Amino acid sequence: MSDLTVADLVGETLAKLGADRVFGVVGSGNFHVTNALVAHGARFVATRHEGGAATAADAYARVSGRPGLVTVHQGCGLTNAMTGIAEAAKSRTPMVVLAAEPAATALTSNFRVDQDALARAVGAVPDRVHSAATAVADTARAWRTAVRERRTVVLNLPLDVQAAAAEPADPPPAPAVQPPRASDDAVTALAHLLGRAERPVFIAGRGAVAAGAEVADLAAACGALLATSAVARGLFAGDEWNLDVSGGFATPVAAELIRAADVVVAWGASLNMWTSRHGSLIGPDAVVVQVDLDEAAFGAHHRIDLGVCGDAGPTAVAVAAALTGHRVAYRTDTVREKLRAGSRWRDVPFDDDGDDTHIDPRTLAIALDDLLPAERVVSVDSGNFMGYPSMFMSVPDHRGFCFTQAFQSIGLGLATALGAALASPGRLPVAACGDGGFLMGIAELDTIRRLGLGMLIVIWNDEAYGAEVHHFGPAGHPISTVVFPETDLAAIARGHGCAAVTVRGPNDLAPVREWLAGPRDVPMVVDAKVAAGRPSWWLEEAFHGH
């Protein structure tokens, strides 16, 4: 008679399916399944809060290209993780959340909440291990839903089912699934449009990150300029026709060229209000095409003239084959010179707002960009500051930028950087935070220090919730509820065992240079006291969506 339980079998099954790293906080409800994962080769990362675990797993999945895995206690363990789960679900991150659950008979359990309803409420897929007989199939189903459909799945593990005796079994073999390309008619229609376009622009989103080469090849064939949504930033890094990010982060040159486009093709991008600047970035006469696997995405955020249902990679290949010859179109010498002169925000002149005690946030980002190695992974929290590290700091490719912003929650930056760092050995991990978000997520500073990650953590510290200050203050509203006294965040960081420096001007970054040259065996925290006299350039536009 085997001593194997369902909890053991679930952990073993996930390891066989490919789970290589699991993030979580262990309680009595998920103790056994977590140990089973570790026993079968998965590496466990113990975070200090379940919210940090979910966000780190989300970031790990985005950067590594592998599914994320989270393990939490029943009830309160799951509710603690919900913000991170909501971010992952809204971003269509392939992720499985192993959530312990009270037994069906434990009607008065303190831990009882409607865990299925919680998952559905944030756009995740609820599922459950039902019995010992179905445990392997149930686990495999949840994993494959996450992978194939790019969904976040909450797999509930009732305690009585977990404890039941089980027999060893292997997961059923996964059937081969070929990504669908668009229909012949759709391919012909798109090829016809691109064959006549004079100023085509491609905008690639997360749905196209696996097809960057194919989309770039098609753009070269039809003379299109390349851009991305913010979350796909870096996909076309190094291409001379790359406009970088479309939307609120677009440079003046990029915005001008996108507005002048006569055909705009969105590849796996929703063209939401951020990517299209509430529609103002796309000309009223432009023909708009959306290529997506999900027909429900067509026109959900912006008007379109043609919806092409298919996977970005094979669809781009088919359209390229249907074109006749190569075209110059938008890739003229005039456009090339414009891009050389102003395709980066750091090339756009600005008046430095720094003074004796504060550094301009743009000056800080540019100085860091010059100081840091090119091989980096930049993770950005939400807040008034976030455009500065996002747009003034370069990234080597799309796996060098992690932007957990679908739910617009502050406080995810440290956990995001944790997951991205573990997915990027050999690259310098950079966490970009505001002071509010840093303090909100500070529990994971302990995790980062404990794991010995040589991470650079930069805090754009304006001693306030800056977005609210700049949105409500000019209208005469009192802002005492969103400003705070000066806090020595560098001292707090040293208390966690980190190296730290307070920065009020560019010369104060010398300790960062020394840290970069050293062993980097502890994190370095930069408490940058930034000039806060004006809002970030994208802030007013962002608040239009509230």
Contacts for 128 with CB less than 8 Å, ≥ 6 apart: 101, 116, 138, 155, 156, 157, 158
Q: What is the pLDDT of residues 300-358, one digit of tens each?
A: 999 999 999 999 999 999 999 999 888 999 999 999 999 999 889 999 999 999 999 99
Q: What is the pLDDT of residues 415-439, one digit of tens each?
A: 999 999 999 999 999 999 999 999 9
Same domain, 273 and 360: no
Same domain, 315 and 391: no
Tell me, yes or no, whether 45 lies in a domain.
yes
- Reply yes or no on whether the pLDDT at 258 is more than 80: yes
Token duo for residue 294: 């999900």
Task: Give the gyration radius of the chain's Cα atoms.
Answer: 24
DSSP letter, residue 172: P
Same domain, 146 and 45: yes
Same domain, 384 and 240: no
The residue among 465 and 192 whose pLDDT is bigger is 192
Amino acid at 263: V
Same domain, 426 and 469: yes
DSSP letter, residue 396: S
- Reply yes or no on whether the pLDDT at 546 is more than 60: no
Q: What are phi and psi of 513, to 5 degrees?
A: -60, -40
Token duo for residue 184: 């012949």
Mean pLDDT of the chain: 95
Token pair 């990650």 is at which residue?
453
Tell me, yes or no, whether 173 lies in a domain.
no
501: helix, strand or coil: strand
Distance CA 136, CA 139 (A): 5
5 strand-pairing partners: 165
Same domain, 486 and 521: yes
154: helix, strand or coil: strand
134: helix, strand or coil: coil
Q: How confident is the model at residue 2 (pLDDT cuts 50, 70, 90)?
A: low
Q: How confident is the model at residue 467 (pLDDT cuts 50, 70, 90)?
A: confident
Q: What is the pLDDT of residues 357-394, one digit of tens each?
A: 999 999 999 999 999 999 999 999 999 999 999 999 99
- Reply yes or no on whether the pLDDT at 164 is more than 90: yes
Per the structure, the complete domain to which residue 294 belongs is given by: 184-343
Element (H, E) at 414: helix 413-422
**0.85 exceeded by the pTM?**
yes
Helix-strand-coil split of the chain, %, nearest 5:
40, 20, 40
363: helix, strand or coil: helix
Same domain, 507 and 521: yes
Give how many domains the chain has, as a whole number: 3
Tell me, yes or no, whether 497 lies in a domain.
yes
- Reply yes or no on whether the pLDDT at 62 is more than 80: yes
Q: What is the pLDDT of residues 101-154, one digit of tens each?
A: 999 999 999 999 999 999 999 999 999 999 999 999 999 999 999 999 999 999
Distance CA 405, CA 402 (A): 9
The residue among 534 and 201 whose pLDDT is bigger is 201
500 strand-pairing partners: 525
Token duo for residue 450: 């404990």
Tell me, yes or no, whether 171 lies in a domain.
no
Tell me, yes or no, whether 284 lies in a domain.
yes
Distance CA 93, CA 124 (A): 10
Element (H, E) at 38: helix 31-39
**What is the predicted pLDDT for the residue at 355?**
96
125-128 and 68-72 strand pairing: unpaired
**Separation in Å, CA 251 to CA 179, 201, 330, 349:** 35, 15, 18, 12
Q: How confident is the model at residue 466 (pLDDT cuts 50, 70, 90)?
A: confident
64: helix, strand or coil: helix
**What is the predicted pLDDT for the residue at 543?**
65
**What is the predicted pLDDT for the residue at 326?**
87
Token duo for residue 9: 């079998």
- Reply yes or no on whether the pLDDT at 234 is more than 70: yes
Same domain, 405 and 333: no
Same domain, 416 and 526: yes
Tell me, yes or no, whether 377 lies in a domain.
yes
Q: What is the pLDDT of residues 478-520, one digit of tens each?
A: 999 999 999 999 999 999 999 999 999 999 999 999 999 989 9
379 strand-pairing partners: 402, 431
**Helices assigned H by DSSP within 325-360:** 333-342
- Boundary (domain end) residue, out of 325, 343, 361: 343
Tell me, yes or no, whether 337 lies in a domain.
yes
Same domain, 193 and 305: yes
Same domain, 241 and 151: no
154 strand-pairing partners: 97, 126
Same domain, 151 and 261: no
Task: Report the CATH number at residue 216.
Answer: 3.40.50.1220
Tell me, yes or no, whether 179 lies in a domain.
no
28 burial type by CB count under 10 A (0-12 exposed, 13-18 middle, 19+ buried): exposed
Task: Report the CATH number at residue 107.
Answer: 3.40.50.970
Share of the chain above pLDDT 70, in %: 98
Distance CA 139, CA 482 (A): 45
